[in-house]
Structure formats: structure tokens, C-alpha cells
Chain A
Amino acid sequence: MGSISLNNINKSFGSTEVLKNINLDIADGEFLILIGPSGCGKSTLMNLIAGLEDLNSGEIIIDGLNVSDESPKDRDIAMVFQSYALYPTMNVARNICFGLEMNKVSKSEQESILKRVSGLLQIDHLLDRKPGQLSGGQRQRVAMGRALARSPKVFLFDEPLSNLDAKLRVEMRTEIKKLHKRIGTTMVYVTHDQIEAMTLADRIAVLKDGELQQIGTPYEIYNDPVSHFVADFMGSPGMNFIECIVKDENLIIESGGKKYEISIPCKDALNKSNLDVVLLGIRPEMLTEVQPSAVGNKFIQKVKFDVEVIEPMGADTVAIGQWNETEVMVRLSPESGNSAGNGFDLQVDTSKAILFDPSSGLRLR
């Protein structure tokens, strides 16, 4: 059906290397997210898969066929663009059928495909309108309809939701996920939004400066990042990174003039690294108010926390303070009633804490 193999892909524009030796296998029916900061090469990689840019070296194999030199139309791929790229002078029906028309599909078959696709996306009532008369969400649906009409082997999505407002984005996100469940076609989806990545992906590929940093399930990427960069990129509010001095296999955290020795799970990695100072990575949800039920676990400890800023988010409240002269975000219950200026003992759960080499940013394992 629609498996994709990218082998040793290199791409440069002039003297700028945009992609460096990318290797990636995408299984048939998989939902793969390409994520990274802007300029990391994720859109270029997508354009290479689509055939809209030429490779410098490497090969692209779709469904067992080497398509590296094929033109876009011969790759059996459909793409949804960030700007939707609907043909402004054609009505919705013709927008959806244009690809079929170009591929010389018979009129009657076009009709039946149009009916199926517009029903699936609930755009039956819009078929006579021009794109200019549609709202953002409707345009998005039409763009997906155009991609669906040709029943391609692979769908490519290039930041399809970034032009929508926040509420609609969440709705369409769910719809895309449902759509994938229903049709089961391979999807490659570019985004810089880590929440989209976490919620949609079967697997996430994180790119930085044209290099693949890590490929894994959302759980792996979130809980087991290979580097400071990946850990920092995923999660909102982001992971806390605190530089700590190592003392007897423990880490020192200084708060409010007092020093605390923190026990951590990854002692082997710490010993192996021989570092005096390491970067402790710990997610805000592991820093909470003291929960009596958790006390007793050896990775649960208490550290004094002075609240500088409170950011209520509804379901949680994020509080910001300082440890080791670094800003630290913690996640409190909205009922805690804390306000800026308060100081109290915080429960620190290091069972999922990870360590990084402060100079290279790489994970200590």
C-alpha cells in the first residue's frame, strides 16, 4: 500500500545544507509527524517526498518503488498545504475533482467520488461555492477533500492547522485523527506544534538543523528523549533543566539559601559520565504539592520552593520559582491557594528525572 523509505537523503540550497543524511522508514498506514523548530528542514523533507524539490543524493522509495526521479504526479501522493492552495477561480466541486480531471477519470466516476468525499467531510452544501466564500475551517475541509479524492498511497500534510484559530484547530485535529482511523492511509504530517504531534502521531520524528534527532512513539519522545533539545521541544509547560553539582551520587539543589541532596534513579549513567556538574531534566508535573500517599517512595523528596509568579491555567496552576539560580516551573492544584511570595515544601518526584551532559546536551545513559 503506502510504505515510505527515505535512504541517506541530502539536500542543500546553494551552500546551505538543509537536510543531512536522513534515514527514515515509515510503515504502511502509519501516522508519522515531522516536528522541529522553523528552519529545521521539515517542510523541505516533505517537499522532497512529494517530488516538489529535487534530491541532492539519497533515494526515496514508496511502496517498494524508487521514485527519487519521478515527477510529483507519478508518485501517487496527495498533499494538504498550510495555505490550503485551493484554486480560487474554481468552485469547491471542481477543486476536488481537478486532480481526477487531470488524470482523465470519467465524469460519472468523478461524480461518485465527489459524492463520497463531500459526504465524508460534510461539505455537500458547499460544492457550488468559490474558496473565497468559505471560512478557514471549510477551506481546510475542501483541501482535505481534494487530497482524498484521488485515493493516494500517501497523504502529506504541511502544517495544515496553523492558519486556524485555537478552538477550530483542536476540532480539526480530532477530525484528522478520525479520518486516519477510518481510511488507514499512510500520513506524513509536518508541524511545529508539539501538542499536535503528541496527539496525532503513531511516531514522531524530531528534526533540528537538518538532522534527525530522534524517532519514536509520543511516549518515548516525551519520557525518554535522547537530548536536551528533544526534551526541551516537547511538553508544555516545558521540562525544567537545572544545573546541579554532583555529590555522592546525589544532586545538590539550593533553594532559599538551603542545600538539598536529591536522590535520582539513573545513578549508573551518572557514575559512568564522571561529571561534576550535570543538567537535571524534570517535568513540571513531577514537582507538586506534597501528596501524603506518595511519601515513602525513595525518589520522592521535599524541597523548599518560593513562588515568584503564579500562572493559573484552569485545570492546573503553574508556579514559577528559582532553584540553583535557574527558573523552575511546577504544577500545582488550582485549589492550593498559593500566591506569589509564598514559600512551602514542594514534593519532588525524580523517578522520571533524566540527566544531560551540560556541554553537549546529550542524555546521560
Chain B
Amino acid sequence: MIPKHGDRSAAFLPEAALIAALVAGFFVLPFIGGSADLFGRILIWGLFGLGFDLLFGYTGLLSFGQAAFYGTGGYVSAWLLTTHAIGSVWLALAFGTLAAGVWGVLIGWLALRRVGIYFAMITLAFGQISFFLENSPLAAWTGGENGLPGVPVPRIGFGAGSFAITSGWRMDTLVAAFFLVGFALARRIVHSPFGAVLRAIKDNADRTAALGHAVGRYKLAVFVIAALYAGLAGGLLGVFQSYMPPEAFSLDTSGQLVAQTVIGGVGTLVGPLLGGAVWLYLEQNLQRIPGVGGLWKFLLGLIFVLLITLFRRGIAGSLRAFWRRTRIGRPDSLAGRGPATLESTLPSLPPHPPLPSLPLAAPAVRSAGAPALEARGLSKNFGGIRAVQNVSLTVERGTVQAVIGPNGAGKTTLFKMLHGEVTPSAGDVLFFGQRITGLGVTGACQAGIGKSYQVNQLFSTLTVRENVRVAALARSLGAFRPALFGAATAIPKVERQVEAVLATVGLEGRADLLPGTLAYGEKRRLEIGLSLAAGPHVLLLDEPLAGMSPEERVATKRLIARLGEQSTLVIVEHDMDAVFELAQRISVLANGVLLAQGTPADIQNDPAVQEAYLGGLHAHEPVGG
């Protein structure tokens, strides 16, 4: 059993360890060529990096423009203080952070319209825009190349009794305090439901969306969070050295943040701090070694390249992986057990045992009399290709319907339209009488349609249990909720849902393993479990039996049969035996057109269907034979 994060004693262990490490570092540093000033700067980069790690390490969004927010926060605070518009440093920092957040909303909204490489390029460009704005048009406020000197130090207390936080150990303690609070917050976010969704997005953004999470909004939220961290760090920089430099906006700054995070370890939260320590320490001390001098940056670059190529996880990441290997090395979940099949986990149940009911389900539907799912005149054209032409079918509630047809018939496209992945060129999709055309996958899933994919779309970096939890969370949280606090594992209904689903697909014994270690059949069952965990009223299964061994096939057919008793199912399959066994109605598609519809018996005897599948078989038979 993984220790729950509600465990009091373990809850603050990382923070306590961090405090101890910081105190030790502060005292040791002067002896090994560091100083109080270096210590403080490392912490500021660490704070800057906390937000970036949430963005890149946990959500997979590589931004090369974080300097835009670092600079914005820093300059707004510095400007407010140096023009005496605000007297309190604390208030100025708050305003600076807020300003960075606002800028983050704007840039995020534009940049997140793209993903991956495009996103990286665009953030770089926006970082450059911010740099130019600071340098030229806004130079009257920002001091242009000069920067803003004369930022006052903060004071604690009021009036005559207050004391100033001057440079040295006092300022370092202040910065360390900010970092610790930032770290504690970030850690909470990582373990929250919000954090769970972020990690799912990093792993497989499309599937996360298909499970009912509004991925775009989550991305924007974490982007803004990263901007807020950056803004606070920038403000602290100005206060720390009484001077706000224009380089805060430069591409170099954004690049250095990325490099430091990678060196220290992406996705560890302390990675940026460690990487910053390495970078700044080497920068300072290598320069003083004669002969090395100007090469310090080259050496750092070399270290960076070697680390990405060889030790992908960076320093902290490698340490954590090593730690985990020694801990989870005990294979108690595997020892002495054979592969878990439905048969072995439920040996004594009657042939058709009732399924555990799901605590969380899609919202109840109003017009219960309408067919569960209806396609009206659906068409889809891809350029000149008409993949689906004017297909209409209805699926009655509580039935199992199959869609079959030869390859290239348009079944996948039809399914995608039903599920909202693809917008029809014409026609409508109705869900219990409600028009859901064009809602998109997330909307469709929230409405109550789930789909299990032909090619497994699992979260490979999450355990089986965590996989299912992501799906269940979509039902619990809705399309988007910034549930930043509270543990992801601590919502009772969600946990019960997860247990129920795991029991249904027979994977309880595998719950804490990664999908990569599962057998293929188990992976397929997890795939089905994912779509089930969102509590859908209608479940679309795309070739659920694909690639399975005969044994696995039997077990999965039983699962599907049992599912069919509780929900409405639509299945695409090539295994005709399974189709005729499971389905109550069959629709046949060929060349994008609905060829026939009816009961299994009708279809078996339909000559047009035989023609489509076997292609002119009878044409070659001797007449009268």
C-alpha cells in the first residue's frame, strides 16, 4: 500500500528536509567558495523554477519565455517602490506578482493555441516582445537599458520600531522563507486533483481531454501559476540587490532557467534549485580559475548536453529514481501470483454476476424515452474523400449495438463523430434527444458518452489506479475546477469509483503497477476501465477484442456482456463470432454508406452484406449450384 498523503508525520517531511538542507548549505557555502549573496540568488532562481517545473515538469509545456513574467513582476514592483507610489515592499511585491499573472493570462491565451514545438517558439517570441517593450517604448518607466536602481529593502513592523531586512543572512532568510512557502504550495498542487490532471495531460493530453477534462483551461491555469511564481521571484530580485536589471527580460534568462531545471531534474520541484546551485556556483568559481576563465559557459553547456543525453532525469530526478528502485523493489504484488484474469479473481461467482455499481455517474438525462444515441444524416468529407455519407442510426437505451463493415468502411470516422472527436461535415448527433454535435470530446464525455480506443491510449507514467482515478476525477470535478488543495487521493467518492471500476475489469491485483508491465489483455481491460470510470451512460468500444489471445478474448467478452446489462454499448468489431454473440442490433457500413441494419439473424442472411464482405463470391459460383 502506498502511504497516503494524509499521513501527518510524512506530510511535512520534504519541507523539513529542505529546511535542514538550506540551513546546512548556508553555513557550508562560504567555505567552498560561495557567499550569502550567492545563496540568496540560488533561492530566487529556485523560486522562479518552481513555477516553471509545474509548467514543464508536470504538465509538459516547455516555455522559453518565462523571463517575460520574471521581468514584469520585477519591474512593476520596482517601479512602484522607486517612484514611491507604494511604500510597503510587501504590497509592491504583491502587485508585481499580480501584474505578472495578468500578463500570463494574455500570453497564455495566445500561446496555448498551439502545442509542443510551436508552443516553445511562440513563448520565445513573446519573451522577446516583452524584452523589446521594456527596452524601448516603455523605457521612460523601466529605465530602458539602465534598469531601475534604488529599490528599497523591506521592513518588518511599523513606523519607528520596524527593522530593515538588509543584505546578508537577514535577506537570505527572507528569500528562503518565500521559497519554502512556494515549495510547500507547489507540492500541495502536485498532489492535488488539479495536479493529477496536469500529469495526465503531460502523459497523454488527447486522452485526458477525451476523458472529460477541459485540457485547455488546465493548461492556462498552470501557465498563469508559473507566471505568478516568476513574477514574485522577479520582484524579490529587485529587492534583493536593490536594482532591477533589464536582463530579467532577456532570452538568456529564460534559457538559463530551462538549462538549470534540466540539470537539476525536471519534475522534482527542487530540480531548479539544485540546477541553479550548480550553475551559479560554477559560473562564479570557474571564472576565477586561470585558463578556464571565459570557458565557464562552454563547460556548463557541455554538462547540460551530457546530462540530457545520458542522465535524462537530471540530478534530483536520478536520485529519486534510484530511491524508488530500492524501495519498490519488493515485488509483493507480483510474487507467487499468476497473471490476473477475470476467471482467477472471481472464481466462485455465478455465470453473470452483477457489476458493482458506480458511485459517480454522468448527470441524469431528461427525456428518458428518447434513444440513447442517435446519428442523423451524418457525413464527413476529407478533402475529396467522402468517408461517411449520410449515415443514420439509432441506439436504444440499454442495448448492445454493433457496427461492422470491411476495412475502409468509415467505421472509425463514424465513431469519432459520435464521440465528438471529429466534427461532421453534415448531420447531427443526439444524445438522449439532446443535440451534442460539435461539443467536442470533452463536452461529449461530460454529457455521458465514453469511448474505449482501438489502440490503447493509456497513461504510461501513471499506475493503473492513478489511470482510473484521472477518469473518475473528470466526473467528480467537472470539465474544469482548480482544485489546487487537498490530496487527489482523498475524495471518497472518487476512490470508491476507482475501486469499483478496478473490480469490474479485474485489475485490483495490478492496481499499483505501471501499464507497461501489464499483459496485453490487461492493458485492453484497463483501456475499457478508463472509459468506464467516467460513469458514462453510453459506452463506445472500438475493437475491444483486437489483438487478444483466445483466453483473454473469452474473459473480455464476458466483461462486455456484463457491461451491456447496465449501460448502452456500441461496439465496432471484426470478430464476427463475438459480434453475433453480444449484439442485439447490428449496423453494417461499407464505403461510408449504411448498408443494412437489423438483428444478427437479419444481417447474417442479407445478401448485400455478404457481397460487401466477400466481394462477388456468388458471382463466381456456377449457375444453379
Q: Do these two chains really belong together in a complex? A: no
